[in-house]
Chain A
Amino acid sequence: MEAFTTHTGTAVPLRRSNVDTDQIIPAVWLKQVSRTGFEKGLFAAWREDPSFVLNDPAYAGGTVLVSGPDFGTGSSREHAVWALQQYGFRVVIAARFGDIFRNNSTKMGLLPVVLPGDKVEALQAAVEADPTLQVTVDLEGREVRWADETVPFEIDDYTRWRLLEGLDDIGLTLRHADDIAAYENGRQPWLPTTV
């Protein structure tokens, strides 16, 4: 996983709520067996509308997506995270995220940042007023900064550490292979196997 410490870039305001993962990457894109090329499918249906924010040249090159609440609800497809990352986003800011999407993001190094709804709106308005606005997302300091605003955000210590170090979860878990083996020896005898 790519490490995440501090990121500064321009932002894209997405003034929609309940941005489900079917919108982020429509199902037809999920048939690929590789991990690359998903940027073309990002918001594919919405991007057909010339007025959609990603089609606005003012926001080209934005790396921080600032969305309405309940971003990433619905399907568990990690392809949504891959599409956002491959398009160029490093951070998504919203007042609330779908659980599975948020989990998937932290496995891949896309930082989901929860800010209060009024702060999300303030940031969206600031970006709309000046699309060149530089937004800094500081994972070490757990805060988002733009203009003269500094807004703290919460993230658990463990996830933050993994992201800062860019650590692979599987490698971390395999350090505890003995614990797993010990647990397996004590499992209830009636539990089913698929064989």
Chain B
Amino acid sequence: MGRTLAEKVWEQHVVRRAEGEPDLLYIDLHLIHEVTSPQAFDGLRLAGRGVRRPDLTIATEDHNVPTVLGPISDPVSKTQVETLRKNAAEFGVRLHPMGDAGQGVVHIIGPQFGLTQPGMTIVCGDSHTSTHGAFGAIAFGIGTSEVEHVLATQTLPAYRPKTMAIEVSGELPPGVTAKDLILAIIARIGTGGGQGYIVEYRGEAVRKLSMEGRMTVCNMSIEAGARAGLIAPDETTFAYLEGRPHAPQGELWDQAVEYWKTLRTDDDAVFDKVVEIDASTLTPYVTWGTNPGQGLPLGESVPSPESFSDPVERAAAERALEYMGLTAGTPLREVEVDTVFVGSCTNGRIEDLRAAAEILRGRQVKTRTLIVPGSMLVKLQAEQEGLHEVFRSAGAEWREAGCSMCLGMNPDTLQPGERSASTSNRNFEGRQGKGGRTHLVSPQVAAATAVTGRLTAPADL
């Protein structure tokens, strides 16, 4: 019987397999940032262990860093960033600190350096590591104990998750993006729907996505509960990779591409579960609640809790509406927002900024609008294209690279009761700052919303 893509990549990385034990899996790339690593390095020191493969490890500063120029003013954040610097120096790990041309959100810099390649295993102490699956890699988030384990051994003991295919037929209509697709998928299968699975996104609509779009889709796999999400590599993948600093060159490039072309699910392979979605029926999506599964097409209204037959979902909806300050039946297009955030590992890449700029060109924003490039290289490229001038002319703020308003760990936060349209990945209570209310949207919807001050699709302008 044939094998799925996930099974092929997994098998390639099994160091040791024994009856009744998890597989010992080799890790090709370990990404590190300031928040989930300090206790892991402490653990190494306590046990007198070193980093087995510093040459397969890379660190950056992203979660805590301010996105305006200048030092970190919060002393606790500052200590954490300084701790990463000390640890990277002590253990010989390459670090891209604040101000460095290679600094950025950990999941943006891996692909941009060409370190993320098809068929690899990639981990990071961050749940959005699934982003790298866009290249046909198995990439997943881990906790600090596992960070320490990978530092010490370059492996992880793990049971292979089950496999799920999400088959996306048809084509995304104009104005409907990768973000809308993944929000629609999560709304369909729920925040636990992918639990225990590696998801492979397949089908015509997925094949037509750019690498940036594929990264957006895979990024939010965790929001559907999946351990990882991946997409088979193809010409789009190879074209993105070729010439990047860490991509193979010359004869090795040819060998690699030959191998990468085998990284597809065999025609006779069987998935443990299959979900089918028709892309042609999709419209821009927006979340109304406090988990990423609570999403609807922008054309709909805030749902009534009574419309949920499942009592758990009904209770969750009731609580979400109360937290979000929304009334059932209100058209989503009438929901007014205070702040718009374009950025994050979900939508902080150049294509996302271009999409937002296209809508903001020649227009004025009505809300506080933060445009935050995902990395210093994205920032540089955007500035070379003049996008920063478009944003500034529209009245938006053009920032330095970082996680910014995705997660409420740095100065970019919402105030209690403030409402945002955000291109990030989580609308949890307090995610963007205590009491903040988040609506997850695409960069296009975010930009259009900034112009009107209400949740808006570009086509409405």
Q: Complex: how many Å from CA A81 to CA B39?
A: 14
CB within 8 Å of A: which B260-317 residues? 290-291, 293, 312-313, 315-316
Residues of A within 8 A of B (CB): 15-18, 20, 22-23, 26-28, 30-35, 45, 68-70, 73-79, 81, 96-100, 103-104, 107-108, 117, 156-158, 169-170, 172-174, 176-177, 179-180, 183-184, 187-195
Q: Complex: how many Å from CA A173 to CA B47?
A: 14
Q: Is B38 located at the chain interface by the 8 A CB criterion?
A: yes
Q: Is B225 located at the chain interface by the 8 A CB criterion?
A: yes
How distant is A85 from chain B, measured CB to nearest CB, in Å? Answer: 12
B39 adjacent to A35 (CB under 8 Å): yes
For A26, give its contact among B15, B153, B191, B434 (CB under 8 Å): B434
Beyond the given A170-B148, A170-B149, A194-B56, please list 14 additional residue pairs across the A-B interface where CB-CB is below 8 A: A22-B430, A26-B430, A31-B409, A74-B127, A74-B223, A76-B125, A100-B227, A103-B143, A174-B153, A177-B153, A191-B120, A192-B28, A192-B114, A194-B115
16 of the cross-chain contacts (CB-CB < 8 Å) are: A23-B428, A68-B312, A74-B222, A76-B125, A78-B125, A99-B161, A99-B195, A100-B127, A107-B145, A176-B24, A179-B15, A180-B155, A183-B26, A184-B26, A189-B255, A190-B252
Given A75-B127, A189-B252, the answer on whether A45 and B429 have CB atoms closer than 8 Å is: yes
The interface residues of chain A lying within 8 Å CB-to-CB of B71 are: none
Given A99-B225, A194-B94, the answer on whether A32 and B76 have CB atoms closer than 8 Å is: yes
B148 adjacent to A77 (CB under 8 Å): no
A96 adjacent to B195 (CB under 8 Å): yes
The interface residues of chain B lying within 8 Å CB-to-CB of A74 are: 127, 222-223, 426, 428
How distant is A41 from chain B, measured CB to nearest CB, in Å? Answer: 12
CB within 8 Å of A: which B1-53 residues? 15-16, 20-22, 24, 26, 28-29, 35-36, 38-39, 42, 47, 49, 52
What is the 8 Å Cβ interface bit string for chain B, positions 35-79, against chain A (1 contact, 0 not)? Answer: 110110010000101001011111000011000000000101101
The interface residues of chain B lying within 8 Å CB-to-CB of A70 are: 191-192, 195, 225
B312 adjacent to A191 (CB under 8 Å): no
Q: Complex: how many Å from CA A187 to CA B429?
A: 44
Query: B78 — nearest CB in chain A belongs to which residue?
Result: A31
A27 adjacent to B21 (CB under 8 Å): no
Q: Is B326 located at the chain interface by the 8 A CB criterion?
A: no
Q: Is B248 located at the chain interface by the 8 A CB criterion?
A: yes
Residues of B within 8 A of A (CB): 15-16, 20-22, 24, 26, 28-29, 35-36, 38-39, 42, 47, 49, 52, 54-58, 63-64, 74, 76-77, 79-80, 83, 94, 114-115, 117, 119-120, 125-127, 140-146, 148-149, 152-155, 157, 159, 161, 191-192, 195-196, 222-223, 225, 227, 246-248, 252-253, 255-256, 259, 290-291, 293, 312-313, 315-316, 319, 407-409, 426, 428-431, 434
How distant is A65 from chain B, measured CB to nearest CB, in Å? Answer: 17
A107 adjacent to B35 (CB under 8 Å): no
Q: Complex: how many Å from CA A189 to CA B258?
A: 13
A107 adjacent to B316 (CB under 8 Å): no
A-B contact count (CB 8 A): 207
A193 adjacent to B55 (CB under 8 Å): yes
Given A76-B127, A190-B253, A192-B29, the answer on whether A107 and B146 have CB atoms closer than 8 Å is: yes
For B64, give its contact among A31, A68, A176 (CB under 8 Å): A31
Query: A194 — nearest CB in chain B belongs to which residue?
Result: B58
B248 adjacent to A22 (CB under 8 Å): no
The interface residues of chain B lying within 8 Å CB-to-CB of A68 are: 312
Determine which residue in B24, B127, B152 has the highest number of CB atoms from chain A within 10 A of its CB, and name it.
B127
B79 adjacent to A16 (CB under 8 Å): no
Q: Complex: how many Å from CA A158 to CA B38?
A: 28
Q: Complex: how many Å from CA A77 to CA B55?
A: 25
For B143, give its contact among A77, A158, A174 (CB under 8 Å): A77
How distant is A155 from chain B, measured CB to nearest CB, in Å? Answer: 12
How distant is A94 from chain B, measured CB to nearest CB, in Å? Answer: 10
A183 adjacent to B38 (CB under 8 Å): no
The interface residues of chain B lying within 8 Å CB-to-CB of A183 are: 15, 26
How distant is A124 from chain B, measured CB to nearest CB, in Å? Answer: 12
B428 adjacent to A191 (CB under 8 Å): no
Given A32-B76, A45-B430, the answer on whether A192 and B247 have CB atoms closer than 8 Å is: yes
B256 adjacent to A16 (CB under 8 Å): no
